Amino acid sequence: MVFLQFVLLCFSNYLQDEDLDSDDDRSSFSSYGSDIVAKRGYGTNNGNVSLMFSHQRTESLLSVYSEAGDFGTVTVCGAVEFALKYTAAGELIITVEQCQDLAYANPRKQRTDPYIKTYLHPDKSRNSKRKTSIKKRTINPVYGGETLKYNMKMDGLKGRTLKLSVWHNDFRGRNVFLGQVNIDLKTWDWWHESLTWYNLQPKYVLYRMLMSIGYLTSFPGNAKDISGEIHVWLKEARNLRRLKPKGVDSFVKCYMLPDTSKKSRQKTGVVKKNQEPVYNHAMVYDGFRAGEAREACCELTVWDHNTLSNQFLGGVRLSLGTGQSYGKTVDWMDSVNEEITLWEKMLASPGAWKKFCKLFLLLKKCSY
């Protein structure tokens, strides 16, 4: 039995920033409505601290899945320079110097008006929030040593995580998340007080889904007539985010790209009011001739069922990740890492269910 871990990118058009409180950041959304459509990629360290002592920059992109629409993606890129200091008076001082190479919150207008916000988690109240000034029309804002201060004993700080995030201030009230840095103050080296560069990271919430996938073939007399079936078995999901007071009404939808017709679309039933739904649903795609499975991509998306409009939660694409299908360049053949590995293992080991690769999907919840 082969167990693999990989990410399922998630996004919510209408959810607010998890750090929001009752003041003016109530309008802080991710990039929904910000005129951004980017190609998908992955972050590198799931929000852990990433020290950067050179001018190297990282970039993480999020993308659009079938039927999810332009759900609003922002390129999380660039870095922020700041320093931490704890004084003898019991004061934590965060000195913010600058950011470099931020994303354009509105690429059409080439505009970003960035500011920086901090919390000491797990406290997400207004009392825990600090903000810098807003810098207009720049992706390289200089704050010139602005300080954000907290009065707290060291014993209290050791149970906190500093969450520093960068936002675009939008006059329409749709502030755009540009990236964040998380620092565990329990393990922080308090002797380190110099300004330091940190890569900005996307913000995630992790979910899980258990599934299996396999490739079955039949062997008639002529090798050219070999036909195959791809079987997808979705067992369960775990730790889904509660989107409504009574929970989440989830279902999973599957396409076998490049076919996006109704024939290709299959889905599980809706499991209501359950953050750990059990689907136990099998999907079968047949008629694959020799070599055709190498040109295909299995796209799985998770949704929250609503009467007026279903809400997209996340998706994953399993394929060889070549960027091409039947000789044509396509944007959906963009699988990476374990997504590719799983597809390769499936193609290399055709057979019965007992040979299927079983895996846990870690669904990444992108910034909102």
SS (H, E, C) the chain: CCCCEEEEEECCCCCCCCCCCCCHHHHECCCCCCCCCCCCCCCCCCCCCCEECCCCCCEECCCCCCCCCCCCCCCEECEEEEEEEECCCCEEEEEEEEEECCCCCECCCCECCEEEEEEEECCCCHHHCEECCCCCCCCCCEEEEEEEEEECCHHHHCCCEEEEEEEECCCCCCEEEEEEEEEECCCCCCCCCCCEEEECECCCCEEEEEEEEEEEEECCCCHHHCEEEEEEEEEEEECCCCCECCECCEEEEEEEECCCCCCCCEECCCECCCCCCEEEEEEEEEEEECCHHHHCEEEEEEEECCCCCCEEEEEEEECCCCCEECCEECCCCCCCCHHHHHHHHHHHCCCCHHHCEEEEEEEEECCC
| Contact status, residue 281 vs residue 269, Cβ threshold 8 Å | yes
User: Looking at the predicted structure, is the pLDDT value of residue 179 above 80?
Assistant: yes
User: Looking at the predicted structure, is the pLDDT value of residue 275 above 90?
Assistant: no
- Structure confidence at residue 154 (pLDDT): 95
The mean per-residue pLDDT over the stretch 220-225 comes to: 56
Q: d(Cα 204, Cα 76) in Å, to the nearest integer?
A: 12
The mean per-residue pLDDT over the stretch 201-219 comes to: 74
The mean per-residue pLDDT over the stretch 181-186 comes to: 92
User: What pLDDT digit, counting tens, does each position of 116-131 carry?
Assistant: 999 999 998 999 999 9
Q: d(Cα 110, Cα 34) in Å, to the nearest integer?
A: 11
Q: What pTM was estimated for this model as a whole?
A: 0.53
- Structure confidence at residue 26 (pLDDT): 37
Residue 368: alpha-carbon gap to chain centroid:
10
Q: Provide the token pair at 2.
A: 């082969």
- Return left, alpha or beta for 122; rule: phi > 0 is left, psi -120 to 50 is alpha, else beta: alpha
Tell me the percentage of the chain whose pLDDT exceeds 70.
71
Which one is predicted more confidently, 216 or 24? 216
Which of 155-159, 164-168, 201-205, 324-328 has the weakest average pLDDT?
Answer: 201-205
Strands 357-365 and 5-10: parallel
The mean per-residue pLDDT over the stretch 168-196 comes to: 89
User: Looking at the predicted structure, is the pLDDT value of residue 95 above 90?
Assistant: yes
Q: d(Cα 300, Cα 281) in Å, to the nearest integer?
A: 13
Which one is predicted more confidently, 56 or 93? 93
- Structure confidence at residue 289 (pLDDT): 84
Q: d(Cα 169, Cα 319) in Å, to the nearest integer?
A: 38
Place of tokens 């079938």: 66
Which one is predicted more confidently, 214 or 207? 214
